[in-house]
Every structure is written in C-alpha cells, then in structure tokens.
Amino acid sequence: MDIKNEVLYRVYFLLFGLVTPAALTLVYYTIKIGVIEGEDWRDVGRNNFIVERDIEAERGNIMAADGSLLATDVPIFDLYWDPLTPTEDDFLANVDSLAHCFANYIDTDYTVGAAYDYLFQLRDTVNFRKNRNVLLKSRVSYSEKKKVEQFPLFNLGQFRGGLIARKRNERKRPFGLLARRTIGYVRDQATDIGLESFYDEVLGGQPGTQMMIPLDRKRDLWMPLENLSSIEPKNGDDILTTLDVNIQDITEEALLKGMQTHDADWGVAMVMEVNTGAIKAIANIERGKTGWYESYNHAIGTRTEPGSTFKAASMLALLEDGFVNLSTDSIDIEKGRKEFYDREMEDSYSNSANLDTISVRRAFEISSNVGIAKLVQENYGTRTKANDEKAAALFIERMHQFNLHLATGIDLEGEKNPLIKEAYNTTDDQWSGTTLPWMSTGYELLITPLQLLNFYNTVANGGQQMKPLLVTEIQRYGQTVETFKPTVIKRQIASKQSIEQLQSLLVGVVENGTAAKLKTSRYTFAGKTGTAQIDYRRTDKGTRIGGYQASFAGYFPARNPRYSTIVVIRRPRRAGFYGGDVAGPIFREIADKCFDSLTDLHDPIIEPTTALHWTTNQLPHMDIGRREDMNVVLKYLGIQPVGDPATPLVVTMRREGRDSVLLERRSMPEGKIPNVVGMGLRDALYQLENLGVKVKIDGAGKVVRQSLIPGTDPRNQTITLRLN
C-alpha cells in the first residue's frame, strides 16, 4: 500500500469513524435539549437564578381614643414542604415520627400509616424540574407555625428539613364591622377608602429587600438565601384616632334600629366633641340585597338638600344683620301658604292653617317654611329693585361668613364640596326669583351631613369653628412621634349675641316646638328637626314628590354642651317621615345612652362641703390610697378610722349607722395591670408607671374608669384613666 492511500484511509476513518458520529450525537442532543426537553430545561433556567425581592412591611395599627385596636395586621402563613431537600439519612431517621405529627396536626383525614405512605410517595414522585413544593396547610397562625417547625425533620431547619413558611399579613378588625367605612381599607384592584387610604404612607411603612431564588413561580413561592445581604422592612406607624368605641357602638346600634323601623334607603349618624371638633362616632348604614351594610360613607360623600335643619343658618344671618328682634318681632305666616313669584310654598306644621301672625321665635320653633322664607325674602330679596342684587348677595355673604360654602377638610378621602349658589348667577347656578326663599328653608343648595354638623357644633361652641379631628397621634412602637392638636378654623363665625340668641331658639325647638315630644327631664338638649322633599318634580299640575329625607341636628347638654350630633335618614318608608318622628328619636337614643355611660355629663349629686359633721352617705367609701396618707386625711376631716391593715394600700368602707370609716386591705397583683379605680392620680401613677405602663389622663379628681382590664399583661401597654 502506498503512502497516499494510507493517508486517505486514515482521513476516512477519522471522518466517518469519529467526527461524523460525534456530529450526529451533538445534533441529537441539540434537538433533544432544545425541542423535546426544551420547556423542562427552560423551567429549570427560570427557577435557578437569584433576584432581589421585596419583603412586605407590617402595616401600622389604627386605634380608638382609649388605645383599643380598630385595625391591625395579623401574620398568616402557608406551609410548604420540599420532599427532596432532606438527605436520605435525615428522611429515614424522622419519617415515622413526622407521619404521626402529620396525621394528628396537619391533615387529620390521614391515618398514621397513610401519612407514612404519602410522605414516601411525595419523595419518590416529585418532579424536581417542575414543582417540588407541596402545600401542607394554608392560613396557619404564628403559634401553629412555631408548633409545626418543631416537628421531626422540620426542626432541622429550612435547608435540611425542607419546610417553607410563606408569610402574608391579613388586616383584622377586632371590633368587627364597628366604624368599618371610617376605618376603610387599602386593596389591590379596588378604590382605597377611609383612614387606611388617607394615612396609607404612615401606616404602610417601607418594604425591605432579600436575595431569593424562585421555588414555584405559579404560587409566587421564593426561598431566601441566608448568606446574602438583606434590608429589613420598616414597619408602618400606628395612628391614634378620636373615635370612642362605646359611643361608636351606641351610635351604630341606634342608627340600625331606626333604619329597620323606618325601612329607609340609607342613614347617617355622627357624634362630635363640641370644644375640640373630635369625631367620637361616625356611622353609615345602607340597605343591601340581603341586609344592612356600611358600604358608602354618606356622611362625607353625599350632598343633599338638607331642608329645615338649614333654617338655623338663615336665622343666624337675620340675627347677625339685625333684621329681627326675637323679643318683639312677629311674622304673618298666612295660614301656612304663600306664593313667591309663580311657586307656592306650604308649611308642614299641621296647625299652621289656623295661624296668621306669630312671633319670630314661634315661627322658628314650629319650623314654618313660610315664616322663615318671608323673613329672608323681605330683608334680602324684595328691597328696591336697585338693591335687589346687593341684598341677595349679602345673604350669600353671610353663608360664606359661616363657612357653609367650604368643605371641612376632615382626614378622609372623598369629602364633597358644598354648593351655595352665587347671587343672581343665572348661567352656572340657575338663580331665579324663587331661589332665595327656597334656599332659606334648605333647598336649592347641597351640603353633606358632616358639613351641616360642623355648623351646629360651631353654634354649640359659642361661635368658634373647629376643624373635624379624627387622628390625634402617630405612634411608633408605643412612642408618640407626631401630635395633631384641635384646630380652630375661625375664631368667631358670628357675634356672641347672635350665637346666644340662636342657641335659645334651638332650645325652644325642643321645649316648645317640633321636637317637644323628644324632651326629657334628665337633661336638656337643643336642636332642629328637618324634613326635606327628595326626587321631586315641579310641573304645572303641582309638585310630585319621590320621598323624604328626615334629619335632626343638635347638641347636648344644652347648658355647657359636650357633644353635637346629626342624624339623617334617607327615604323612610314606614312609621312616619318627619324629622321629629324619624331622626329625632335616634338622636335622643344616642344622647340617652351617652348620658348613661359617661359620668362626666352628670351634675354632681352632692356638692362639696367643708363641714366636719358627716352623715353616713357623705363618708368616704371605696376610696383607695396609701395607708399613711389616708390616716392623715381622715384625721384632718375629723373622721375616725377603724382598722390598721398591713398592706401599703387601703380602701375606705362606710360603717352603716356610724360616723367612722373602716380601713380594709387592698392588694395589688404582681406583674399585671391593677384595678386603680377609686385611687387618686398620684397613687394610680405610682402603681402603673412602676410596671412600665404609659399613662394618659382625662379629667381631674380620682380615677373613675380605666381603659385596660385588671389582670392584663402590662408590657408595651398604654392605659387611659378617666378622672372625676
């Protein structure tokens, strides 16, 4: 064989014996990997890289005025298991015990034997290229999670035992639906509402970051890597609201009862603290397909024609301009019927048909539409033609002076602006010759229940207008970081003399007018009824009415007012439709229950005395203090104490029929919140602050109520003491 042929044979051998098979092998694996197994390997690629993921921050709490939780984040866990993470030795050493725990605590439908087989089956059949994470149990609490983490095999940790806990926070309301719409929510694919929305940046905190590797993208399941740096999330701050749980509950219960009685479309009830503008309760109830719900905040988001409750503003304007004198002036109400231009106005008061000339005070008390409209029209609308526009503008100017044209600026999303027409603006506001008389009785204007309540609160406050206050503090880990004080919007909306005269008129409505059947001998209150026509159409044949809106706005007690309240009931269908019959009783029930539950609304039964001769019911009873201090005080008062308890604290007990006081033992529980009711402030502070409890004080005197139940764990707690 010559050399040339030998070289060729060697080339052919290399080409066909080695290169070609290798090329065919590469083509085969290329097709196999890229086409036949392509999707599997792409899944592996997608699931095997490291990314930086956000870690959810815990949302801050929303609290009532006494520190009670209205909304809080509760951690919930979904537990997964990766059967291929444990080594063969770890799995076999723990599978028996794990099967017992699985059958008894995770899925009780399994027997221990079935659980044993199931765990082996998972380990043998899981396809590691797709999903190797099996859901064990969802919606597990933190305590349940800790228990499962102690199970055999799982107690080796995530990277040896394969247990993966996916945490998510759920928003919970410990008081259920109480103040639901005011608290609100922040949700994906929904409009954010309430305090949750308005204070979202404060409550939401800032997410952290962690390097993770995907385990199951379809379930959004990721595994954090321990060795890589992470940034801890910054949890949200807490907000302390002005809402009073007791008053909120009273208000919602009274409103719901009224809605059921009158079968109405929706209703609103609110309670505001007169001196500060603090919202103590805000309730909205609406008819649903299957019951009653708080599905919309009508208190701030629904503007309506208020009807006769607006007459208070009209009367205040007349008083402020000096157009009426309550002592001497009268008005002819023309038997309750009067034509203004081409429209007839009619009184709803049943006895108006028998009345002609009555006092201005009486016209307001019986809520005479004709009487109030004539007063406004005569003084602001029917002067000489040259002064018509100027006079009407003066009335609108007074409405602006009372800030009735402005929103309140409450810390909630969605407050609608009121509508007060511009005088003689026929283009935008459709001003007509009948606008002024109808506006004076609460028509041809739009206002929300909150805005009208704020006006009545201002009247109760002597003319000083406060901004509605809903949040008083932002707290971080129990420490105050920002405080919101009561804000004065306007020092005086009208002269003190005008305000005092209007106050007397509002008292007269309850004593002698449309709300007379609501008065009580236990306390006095003031207010105004309102009955407005809704969905009406005025035609040549008269006015067609689509229903009524009943309302009552006022404050209590009438002397030294503490709370202002408004009730609005939309379209009552049975048991009456007048404000005094529908909204008034709801107002009265709220006031009654507040009066019963809040001791500081009561006048003292026994006036302080300096006499040193005591009757049995004047002797100290159930007062608590240090033994030495109590003996000094009793000796000074000339009261003979009996007994010498060994405890540092003692409690006084009356001795029936004797002029002496028995001193009894008073023990304090160790490491728990004590009962400090009856103590003076100094002793109560000593007991509570020694436990590390933050104390807030309301009032002066001795403790009559505490916000935390005795026996509560004192750690990280804030307690409010009511003194009287």
Per-residue 3-state assignment (H helix, E strand, C coil) for 17-69: HHHHHHHHHHHHHHHHHHHHCHHHHHHHHHCCCCEEEEECCCCCCEECCCCCE
Identify whether the C-beta of residue 535 lies closer than 8 Å to the C-beta of residue 515: no
* 255 shares a domain with 108: no
- Domain check: are 116 and 151 in the same one? yes
What CATH number is associated with residue 632?
Answer: 3.30.10.20
Residue 41 placed within a domain: no
Q: Are residues 233 and 290 in the same domain?
A: no
Encoded amino acid at 172, one letter: K
For residue 588, being part of any structural domain is answered with: yes
Looking at the fold, whether 67 and 22 belong to one and the same domain comes out as no
609 found inside a domain: no
Single-letter amino acid, residue 400: H
Residue 501 in 3-state DSSP?
Answer: helix
Same domain, 213 and 325: no
Asked whether residue 268 falls in the same domain as residue 417, the answer is: yes
- Tell whether the model's pLDDT for residue 220 goes beyond 60: no
Domain end position, chosen among 205, 238, 271: 238
DSSP code for 604: P
Domain end position, chosen among 210, 238, 266:
238
Domain containing 666: what range?
A: 616-723
Q: What is the pLDDT of residue 360?
A: 96
Beta-bridge partner residues of 281:
271
Q: Contact 110/102 with Cβ under 8 angstroms?
A: yes
What confidence tens digit (pLDDT) does each residue in 103-118 have?
A: 988 888 899 999 888 8
Distance CA 640, CA 469 (A): 49
CB count in 10 Å sphere of residue 519: 16
* Same domain, yes or no: 17 and 88: no
| CATH code of the domain containing 277 | 3.40.710.10
**Domain CATH number, residue 145:** 3.90.1310.10
Number of folded domains that form the chain: 4
Report yes or no on 44 lying in a domain: no
Express as a percent the part of the chain with pLDDT over 70. 81
pLDDT digits (tens, 9 = 90+) for 321-375: 999 999 999 999 999 899 998 888 999 876 777 888 999 999 999 999 999 999 9
Q: Which of 41-45, 259-263, 301-305, 388-392 has the lowest mean pLDDT?
A: 41-45
Name the band, by pLDDT with cuts 50, 70 and 90, for residue 312.
Answer: very high
- The whole-number average pLDDT for the span 221-243 is 73
Q: Are residues 234 and 252 located together in one domain of the fold?
A: no
Mean pLDDT, residues 120-139 taken together = 73
Say how far apart CA 493 and CA 515 lie, in whole Å.
26
Please tell me the least confidently modeled range out of 133-147, 305-319, 360-374, 397-411: 133-147
| Residue 72 is assigned to a structural domain of this protein | yes
Q: Is the pLDDT of residue 421 over 80?
A: yes
Take residue 293 and report the two structure tokens written for it.
């719900």
- This prediction has a pTM of 0.71
Predicted confidence at residue 29, as pLDDT, reads 74
Do 578 and 638 lie in one domain? The reply is no
End-of-domain residue from the set 185, 210, 238: 238
pLDDT at 262 over 90: yes
Confidence (pLDDT) at 15: 63
Same domain, yes or no, for 138 and 269? no
Q: Comparing 19-23, 457-461, 506-510, 677-681, which segment has the lowest mean pLDDT?
A: 19-23
**Domain shared by 525 and 480, yes or no:** yes
Is the separation of the CB atoms in 572 and 677 below 8 Å? no
CA 635, CA 616: separation in Å to the nearest integer? Answer: 17
Please check whether residues 397 and 332 belong to one and the same domain.
yes
Give the least confident one: 22-31, 316-325, 425-434, 506-515. 22-31
pLDDT tens by residue, 495-538: 999 999 999 999 999 999 999 999 998 899 999 999 999 987 76
Residue 14 placed within a domain: yes
pLDDT at residue 129 in the model: 45
In a domain, residue 306? The reply is yes
Considering only residues 659 and 341, tell me which one the structure prediction assigns the higher pLDDT: 341
Residue 608 counted as domain residue: no
Q: Measured at the alpha carbon of residue 111, what is the angle toward residues 107 and 114, in degrees to the nearest 5?
A: 95
Q: What is the per-residue pLDDT for 609?
A: 43
